[in-house]
Chain A
Amino acid sequence: MCPFFCNEFGAKMQDSVVLMKVDDFLNWGRKNSLWPMTFGLACCAIEMMATGAAKYDLERFGCGAFMATPRRADLMIVAGTVTLKMAPRIKTLFEQMPEPKYVISMGSCANKGGPYWQHGYHVLKGVDEIVPVDVYVPGCPPRPEALIEGLMTLQKKIANERLLKNKWVKHA
């Protein structure tokens, strides 16, 4: 223990000061205020809406503020079948999002083409062909609990990131 805290003043300060890394502090803020983009492609979007609504309440995880524009969002939940017509649009939307940005691939179609895997002439076999995916949520469609677990997995991933260290501390 540092000598600064080993006196009467230090004992008082211990109750009101939190010592942590700046990275951890930023990650704590980022992971608990993920703003997803209002963006649904198919039936998985219905489950995503159910997850956001009162019963499952995505807001408990700080993820309920569905943004109507990619410029203000940091999470893209690809909920549904990615058709070839839609794929370039998804890529554009992803590129419009500010860094740092995350993608959850929700449901079998977005993961790997889903039921369109053999005869799907118009379906992209997985959204990871065009954008980098952080978390895959399996299911057809996934239950709201599954999406919440995917979100919590992403939050753990964000909590372990070291943005400042990677950006400013060279050869660390």
Chain B
Amino acid sequence: MLNSIDKRVVELLNANLPEAKAVLKEVTVGHGSVTVSAEKILEVCQFLKQHEELKLRTLQVITGTDYPTVSEIEITYVLCSLEKNHELLLKVRVPRSKDVSDLNALPKVPSVVSVYAAANFQERECYDMLGVNFTGHPDLRRILCAEGWEGHPLRKDYVPAEKYLDMVINPAHKVNTEDHFFGKKLKEQMDNPKLVSWSWKDDSETTEESAGE
């Protein structure tokens, strides 16, 4: 179990960088996190890396989540200190834009590549998957999706393309659409529908119905 340093980090940040507006989020299960304002993420990372008590010198991962209901994208930086044996979830939230056609239209977050070199590929992945413009990144281009790909697949409103370079992505003769409801049919056939475990969204209603029976 890693030592929790969330409270101490918020104290230090509010004392030294009040403009970052660090907010502590405590949870009973899982890991707590610290949310800071997106414009100050570079300064916050610099501070956390150089502080003698924290020594958060390793960036483990940068990942993101799309929240279309509140129209925000949350980016999570997982920092850790191998010397002090502690870990920190640092989060920023930026307003999400519907228009993803242009780099300028995307939500902007300052890049932390100048502090953590490991952020280079991580930020490229986050840009590729969620459409976040990391300003000041030395080489911001797609890392996983193919060249000339349109859209950002991890956004909840992403619609898969029909074609890519003359290749049909979902040819009708290849995709057995009847099997999309395989679990639903199985539940109808089984004497005890509760024995069928199926977690896809199309069948969630059926699960509730059969549970009520």
Contacts and interface: CB of A to CB of B under 8 A. Distances in A.
B70 interface: no
Contact of A125 (B153, B161, B170): B170
Contacts of A129: 167-168, 171
Contact of B180 (A83, A118, A121, A123): A118
Interface stretch (A61-69, A84-92, A94-102): A84-92
- Max chain B C-beta neighbours (<10 A), residue from A87, A88, A113, A118: A118
B50 to A, nearest CB: 39
A151 B127 CA distance: 42
Given A84-B164, A88-B165, A118-B180, A125 B171 contact: yes
Interface string A127-143: 00110000000000000
B175 A87 contact: no
Contacts of B153: 121-122
Given A112-B174, A113-B174, A117-B175, A122 B167 contact: no
B117 interface: no
A154 to B, nearest CB: 23
Interface size range on A against B = 10 to 19
A124 interface: yes
Nearest to B147: A85
Contacts of B1: none
B196 interface: no
A118 B170 CA distance: 8
Interface in B132-172: 144-147, 153, 158, 160-161, 164-165, 167-171
Given A118-B180, A121-B160, A126 B174 contact: yes
- Max chain B C-beta neighbours (<10 A), residue from A88, A112, A122, A126: A122
Nearest to B146: A85
B145 A85 contact: yes
B148 to A, nearest CB: 10
Contacts of A126: 174
B169 A125 contact: yes
Contacts of B180: 118
B167 A84 contact: yes
Contacts of B164: 84
Contacts of A124: 167, 169
A85 B158 CA distance: 18
Contact of B145 (A88, A118, A119, A122): A122
Nearest to B160: A121
Nearest to A84: B164
Contacts of B144: 85
Given A118-B175, A121-B160, A123-B169, 15 more contacts: A84-B146, A84-B167, A85-B146, A85-B147, A87-B165, A88-B165, A113-B174, A117-B175, A121-B169, A122-B145, A124-B169, A125-B169, A125-B170, A125-B175, A129-B167
Interface of A: 83-85, 87-88, 112-113, 117-126, 129-130
21 contacts: A84-B165, A84-B169, A85-B145, A87-B165, A112-B174, A113-B174, A113-B175, A117-B174, A118-B180, A121-B153, A121-B160, A121-B161, A122-B145, A122-B146, A122-B153, A124-B167, A124-B169, A125-B169, A125-B174, A126-B174, A129-B168
